Amino acid sequence: MAHEVTLVNGDGVGPELADAARRCVDATGVDINWDIQEAGIDIMEKTGTPLPDSVMESIKRTRCALKAPITTPVGTGFRSINVHLRQELGLFACVRPCKYYNGVRSFFSSVPVDLVIVRENTEDLYAGIEFEKGEETTGELIDYINKISTDKKIISGRDETGVSIKPISVSGSERIVRYAFEYARANGRKKVSAVHKANIMKYSDGLYLATARKVAEDYPDIEFEDRIVDNMCMQLAQKPELYDVIVLPNLYGDILSDLAAGLVGGLGVAPGMNAGPDGAVFEATHGSAPKYKGLNKVNPTALILSGMLMLRYLKETDAADRLEKAVADVILEGKDVTYDMKPHRDDPTAVGTKEMADVICAKLQ
């Protein structure tokens, strides 16, 4: 029986990566009916929206999507499509494995880094509850904050201050921490580390930490610890091999997932999964890199490995193992890889996006 999967092409280098990942997944022999959808800046010029209704309808129908990168404007323009998809589809858990593959350029090549970031996807500052400077509501919030402050006035006036609100709930915290423990148990992981800043934000991060500690009591077979976020950054830079599954609120998870990706060679080898009770969307951790659009240059590994995670989600374990091995073998050989995976980035023997995918497909066949 064929699996129904939505393939979102994205923009920038997205279409090139989507094609590479789709061909590699197909090369495993798993029968997939791809529903190809367009989203991002390119389709916005035609439809007036970066996220046509057909995209959401398709993902709700298939409950499984492989999504290429989509551009998010900085400071202006439309809000992040990635964030919207996670909130609209209830994809509360972002799972980003960070595993070192022999042959990848990394300062940590001698360290057995193999950890998983589990990031809460729907709450925290990414909920997008913001008030622009000069708004009446902004002024009211500033007045209230200054009123309850035990010190002197701590925030300037409404005409020069923007305000963001950080919601953290018991239910949201319990859900993501429990997901991290269940993931650890299902995948033979031994430890879960909860990351927070509860020493400063006692009523938001403090709530998250208290909830994590309570959930941990239900999993006596798995070691539990907590770390303050800034200390966790230092720990990962010094001794990443000590960590296994790391569970974090939204903002910290976004930041530390990039840090962890850097430990294993960068965003080019960092896959990701966004999961919820009604489905999952698989995507690379990196962005759309529009300056490389059409150049057949960008490393396809992250999206191909995201396809590997998708196969595991679809219970196609053997195919997932074979795809991961094919990718690992190509990286180890170091011949048919993109420029960023060569010892020198100007190496003339580097291949393009398509060519690296071709070799991975050949390994599978």
- What is the average pLDDT score of the chain? 91
Pairing of strands 114-120, 93-99: antiparallel
- Does one domain contain both 273 and 359? yes
Could you tell me if residue 15 is inside a domain?
A: yes
- Does one domain contain both 228 and 286? no
- What's the pLDDT at 338? 95
Can you give the CATH number for the domain in which 237 is found? 3.40.50
Structure confidence at residue 154 as a pLDDT band (50, 70, 90): low
- Does one domain contain both 285 and 146? no
Lowest mean pLDDT across 15-19, 38-42, 361-365: 38-42
- Does one domain contain both 229 and 275? no
Direct distance between the N- and C-terminal alpha carbons of the chain, in angstroms, rounded to an integer: 21
- Does one domain contain both 121 and 218? yes
- What's the pLDDT at 137? 85
- What's the pLDDT at 82? 80
Does position 277 have pLDDT exceeding 60, yes or no? Answer: yes
* Sign of the torsion formed by the C-alpha atoms of 179, 259, 114 and 240: negative
- Does one domain contain both 80 and 227? no
Could you tell me if residue 332 is inside a domain?
A: yes
- Does one domain contain both 115 and 216? yes
- Does one domain contain both 206 and 90? no
At 300, list the tokens. Answer: 């396809």
> Domain range spanning residue 360?
1-94+266-365
Lowest mean pLDDT across 68-77, 221-230, 327-336: 68-77
Could you tell me if residue 287 is inside a domain?
A: yes
- Report, as an integer, the average pLDDT of 96-111: 86
Helix ranges restricted to H, the chain = 14-27, 41-47, 53-62, 81-88, 136-148, 170-186, 205-216, 229-238, 250-263, 301-313, 317-333, 353-364
How far, CA to CA in Å, does 6 sit from each of 19, 176, 276, 280?
Answer: 13, 25, 16, 10
Lowest mean pLDDT across 243-247, 248-252, 266-270: 266-270
- Does one domain contain both 116 and 257? yes
Tell me the percentage of the chain whose pLDDT exceeds 90: 72
Query: Considering 263, 297, 329, which residue would you say is the last residue of a domain?
Result: 263
Count of structural domains within the chain = 3
Greater confidence (204 vs 105) lies with 204
- What's the pLDDT at 297? 94
* Sign of the torsion formed by the C-alpha atoms of 68, 74, 78 and 82: positive
Could you tell me if residue 100 is inside a domain?
A: no
- Does one domain contain both 171 and 160? no
- Does one domain contain both 25 and 84? yes
- Report, as an integer, the average pLDDT of 334-342: 94
Model confidence pLDDT, tens digit, residues 43-85: 887 888 888 899 999 999 999 999 999 986 554 455 677 878 8
Could you tell me if residue 349 is inside a domain?
A: yes
Could you tell me if residue 149 is inside a domain?
A: yes
- Report, as an integer, the average pLDDT of 105-133: 86
- Does one domain contain both 171 and 232? yes
Query: Considering 228, 246, 263, which residue would you say is the last residue of a domain?
Result: 263
Can you give the CATH number for the domain in which 322 is found? 3.40.718.10
C-beta of residue 115 within 8 angstroms of C-beta of residue 246: yes
C-beta of residue 125 within 8 angstroms of C-beta of residue 152: no
Could you tell me if residue 101 is inside a domain?
A: no
Q: Residues with catalytic annotation? A: 126, 197, 230, 254
Could you tell me if residue 102 is inside a domain?
A: no
- Report, as an integer, the average pLDDT of 290-302: 94
Query: Considering 243, 263, 283, which residue would you say is the last residue of a domain?
Result: 263
Model confidence pLDDT, tens digit, residues 162-216: 888 899 999 999 999 999 999 999 999 999 999 999 999 999 999 999 999 999 9
